[in-house]
């Protein structure tokens, strides 16, 4: 149980402190935590397997890939609060910091504006 507690703390606290004063929101860091947990669980499973066959590798890597794809699909649904959180860096490219250190949004599409208004 101590090992599980230790791993939970390692998965939770370093990303939280790393992104503490950044523009990363809760949905983005939640995606990071979700992927980290799945990878850790699958690594534990891989360590417990006595005989490794190609099927074992396919299943373990398949679960990681499936989680990655599922997180992308969930974050692409506009009605959910974490809309587009997985693609946070792409959104950051559409922002720039003005001379007075305020963030100016560059033009966004009508669909993005309507989604932002629905969330707020």
| pTM value > 0.85 | no
119 versus 19: which is more confidently predicted? 19
Give the pLDDT confidence of 102-120 residue by residue, as tens digits.
Answer: 544 444 444 444 444 455 4
Domain boundaries, the chain: 2-119
Interatomic CA distance for residues 94 and 108, integer angstroms: 8
What DSSP string runs through 55-78? HHHHHHHHHHHHHHHHHHHHHT-T
| Closest-CA residue to 41 (of 57, 56, 63) | 63
Give the pLDDT confidence of 29-88 residue by residue, as tens digits.
Answer: 888 889 999 999 999 888 888 888 999 999 999 999 999 999 888 888 878 777 776 665
Q: What is the pLDDT of residue 112?
A: 47
**DSSP 8-class letter at 96:** E
């Amino acid at each position: 149980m101590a090992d599980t507690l230790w791993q939970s703390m390692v998965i939770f606290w370093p990303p939280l402190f790393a992104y503490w004063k950044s523009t990363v929101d809760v949905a983005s860091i939640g995606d990071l935590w979700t992927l980290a947990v799945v990878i850790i669980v699958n690594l534990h499973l891989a360590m417990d397997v006595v005989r490794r066959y190609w099927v074992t590798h396919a299943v373990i890597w398949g679960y990681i890939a499936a989680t990655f794809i599922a997180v992308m699909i969930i974050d692409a649904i506009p009605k959910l609060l974490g809309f587009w959180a997985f693609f946070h860096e792409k959104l950051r490219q559409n922002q720039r910091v003005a001379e007075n250190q305020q963030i100016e949004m560059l033009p966004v599409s009508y669909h993005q504006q309507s989604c932002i208004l629905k969330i707020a």
